Chains A and B, each alone.
Chain A
Amino acid sequence: MAGDVQLADLGVARQIADGGQGVVFRVAGPDGLLLKLYHDEVRVNADELGRLIALPEGFAPPDRRLVAASTAWPCGRVFHRGRCVGLLMREAPPRFVTSIAGAPRLLELQFLLYPRRPMWRELVMPSADERRRLAVRYARLFQVLHGNGVLVGDVSMRNLLWSLVRGPGVFALDCDGFRLLGRRPAVRQADTAGWVDPAARIGLPTLDSDRYKLALVVLRLLLADHAVTPTDDLGGRLDPELLELADRAARPGERPAAADWLPALAGVQV
């Protein structure tokens, strides 16, 4: 665990990405830690970030293990001149990285939601059965988060990773936007276009809107379609049990809980 650190005390860092809210660096040292340094204009609520960092300590051990294995949960705050300017987190494990066109590339969910293109023809894609098992992993992750009062908020197909190495596995990035039910997030989040709950107010996620987004993840993953929504006519594309869950996902206030998807995903043919 990293705790609070001063920016000046971090070893020379190499930039690996420039995101919407900050620049991500690999910190020198044996830890394999990443630093996310927020852009100047981003307002960070240091107290909420501290609360988020401490949160998993209060989870039951199996939940804590799942969160540690499947998320880049922030593990330290970074200060500069008395201000919180960034966070530390673990880097996504190598099984969530592949090589495309000779360069490393995170295995983002988006690859599974678009038709295969020549540029990523080398990518090993999951079978229908593996898609179903990946969906189970995403549902399990949401189940554990929701069970501990955590909302994901902004779900995007760039921040959810997948792997087939040593069995289907998933990993979530950009966890600083997660929030405790009823509290504000440490940093304000945007809603990703195409992943917005039509019944929710922008930037104000609820348990129901999070469940809607999980339904999008599951349906889009199973159907390999980035645009499908629960209100589309899915008859013939899903088996009856999943169809019924999709139907509930279309009705605000009645969205299936994460756990509801698990039995339906257990053995179905898509």
Chain B
Amino acid sequence: MPEQILPFYVVCDQSYSMADHVDGLNDGLRELHRAVGTDPVVADKTRFCLIGFSGDAEVLQPLCALSDVVGIADLVVSPATSFGAAFTVLRETIERDVGRLKSAGHRVYRPAVFFLSDGQPTDPGTWPAAYDRLVDPAWHLRPNIIAFGIGDADEETIRRVGTVRAFMSQGGLGPGLALHEFARALTSSVVSSGEVTEAGDLVLRIPRTVSGFTALQVDQV
């Protein structure tokens, strides 16, 4: 049966600097899975994909309804932080996924990306070009990006990556707690976006504030 579908892509830094915190993040993603996967209405309207990146990027959980899988793959750390690899894989994945959903007759809404990094890109010269292709106004599938920076992430870079909202963790907040809040914000966004509005549409809802984070001003056009 043709459905309205809002796809979420969660793109997480899994470079070595995440080693001490990746368990907390995996726990947060398991919570998300449980909350969304056991909510038939939301699971029906949303799809979830997990991409991990370090020196390269890989799809850890291919796009799925969270009620259809009983577990999602864990993030595993490895060297480097290539934003370019993340954005390139993301664009290819979105292109393929949305094509597949549409050919199955579904009405697909603009994908939402939750991007998380705790460091500075190790490919400063090349990632901007990959990013520009991802958000290219001529590409009709360009996603809405919500960017989160924790730890050593650079505020300016995070602001630049976010297209609709960007959040930078505050100094006092430990990375473990920051990741917990990230996962909570993500869960609440998926759950509240997964319910059709009275007008019969799906609308991406993102928390305005995330506890322990500063909301950055994102360029408006």
Residues in A lying within 8 Å of B, measured CB to CB: 18, 100-103, 105, 110-111, 113-114, 117-120, 157-158, 190-191, 193-194, 196, 202, 226
CB distance from B45 to the nearest CB of A (A): 10
Report if B79 contacts A (CB, 8 A): no
Which residues of the partner chain B approach A118 to less than 8 Å between Cβ atoms? 67-70
Q: Once the chains bind, are A202 and B40 in contact (CB under 8 Å)? A: no
Q: Once the chains bind, are B198 and A119 in contact (CB under 8 Å)? A: no
CA of A100 to CA of B167, assembled, Å:
33
Q: Once the chains bind, are A157 and B41 in contact (CB under 8 Å)? A: yes
Which residues of the partner chain B approach A117 to less than 8 Å between Cβ atoms? 37, 40, 43, 65, 67-68
CA of A120 to CA of B200, assembled, Å:
27
Q: Once the chains bind, are B38 and A120 in contact (CB under 8 Å)? A: yes
Q: Once the chains bind, are B198 and A113 in contact (CB under 8 Å)? A: no
9 A-B residue pairs with Cβ-Cβ distance under 8 Å, sorted by A, are: A111-B40, A113-B40, A117-B37, A117-B67, A118-B70, A119-B67, A119-B69, A120-B38, A193-B198
CA of A133 to CA of B122, assembled, Å:
63
Whether A194 contacts B37 in the complex (CB less than 8 A), given A114-B44, A119-B68, A120-B67, comes out as no
Report if B220 contacts A (CB, 8 A): no
Total residue contacts A-B, CB cutoff 8 A: 54
The A contact surface, by secondary structure, is: loop
CB distance from B2 to the nearest CB of A (A): 12
Report if B73 contacts A (CB, 8 A): no
**Residues 13-35 of chain B, each 1 if its beta carbon lies under 8 Å from chain A, else 0:** 00000000000000000000110
**Residues 44-57 of chain B, each 1 if its beta carbon lies under 8 Å from chain A, else 0:** 10000000000000
Query: Closest 9 interchain pairs by CB?
Result: A117-B67, A119-B37, A114-B40, A193-B196, A119-B67, A110-B40, A100-B38, A101-B34, A118-B70
Q: Once the chains bind, are A110 and B39 in contact (CB under 8 Å)? A: yes
Report if B10 contacts A (CB, 8 A): no
CA of A105 to CA of B43, assembled, Å:
15
Which residues of the partner chain B approach A158 to less than 8 Å between Cβ atoms? 41
CB distance from A96 to the nearest CB of B (A): 15
**Interface residue from B34, B66, B200 paired with A193 (Cβ < 8 Å):** B200
Report if B197 contacts A (CB, 8 A): yes
Which residues of the partner chain A approach B155 to less than 8 Å between Cβ atoms? none
Q: Once the chains bind, are A103 and B41 in contact (CB under 8 Å)? A: no
CB distance from B161 to the nearest CB of A (A): 28
Report if B195 contacts A (CB, 8 A): yes
CA of A111 to CA of B43, assembled, Å:
11
CA of A111 to CA of B37, assembled, Å:
11
CB distance from A155 to the nearest CB of B (A): 14
Look across to chain B and name the residue whose beta carbon is closest to the beta carbon of A105. B38
Q: Once the chains bind, are A190 and B198 in contact (CB under 8 Å)? A: yes
Whether A193 contacts B38 in the complex (CB less than 8 A), given A117-B68, A118-B67, A120-B67, comes out as no
The B contact surface, by secondary structure, is: loop
Q: Once the chains bind, are A119 and B41 in contact (CB under 8 Å)? A: no
CB distance from B186 to the nearest CB of A (A): 14
Look across to chain B and name the residue whose beta carbon is closest to the beta carbon of A20. B192
CB distance from A61 to the nearest CB of B (A): 37
CA of A155 to CA of B66, assembled, Å:
25
Look across to chain B and name the residue whose beta carbon is closest to the beta carbon of A103. B34
CB distance from B197 to the nearest CB of A (A): 6
Which residues of the partner chain A approach B197 to less than 8 Å between Cβ atoms? 193
CA of A220 to CA of B198, assembled, Å:
19
Which residues of the partner chain A approach B40 to less than 8 Å between Cβ atoms? 110-111, 113-114, 117, 120, 226
Look across to chain A and name the residue whose beta carbon is closest to the beta carbon of B70. A118
CA of A202 to CA of B197, assembled, Å:
13
Look across to chain A and name the residue whose beta carbon is closest to the beta carbon of B196. A193
**Residues 177-221 of chain B, each 1 if its beta carbon lies under 8 Å from chain A, else 0:** 000000000001000000111101000000000000000000000
Whether A119 contacts B70 in the complex (CB less than 8 A), given A101-B34, A110-B39, comes out as yes
**Interface residue from A101, A157, A196 paired with B38 (Cβ < 8 Å):** A101
CA of A190 to CA of B198, assembled, Å:
9
Q: Once the chains bind, are A194 and B196 in contact (CB under 8 Å)? A: yes
Look across to chain A and name the residue whose beta carbon is closest to the beta carbon of B67. A117
CA of A102 to CA of B33, assembled, Å:
12
CB distance from A21 to the nearest CB of B (A): 13
Whether A202 contacts B198 in the complex (CB less than 8 A), given A119-B43, A158-B41, comes out as yes
Which residues of the partner chain B approach A120 to less than 8 Å between Cβ atoms? 38, 40, 67
Which residues of the partner chain A approach B43 to less than 8 Å between Cβ atoms? 117, 119
CA of A100 to CA of B33, assembled, Å:
12
Q: Once the chains bind, are B44 and A119 in contact (CB under 8 Å)? A: no
CA of A117 to CA of B33, assembled, Å:
13
Within 8 A of A (CB), among B154-187: none
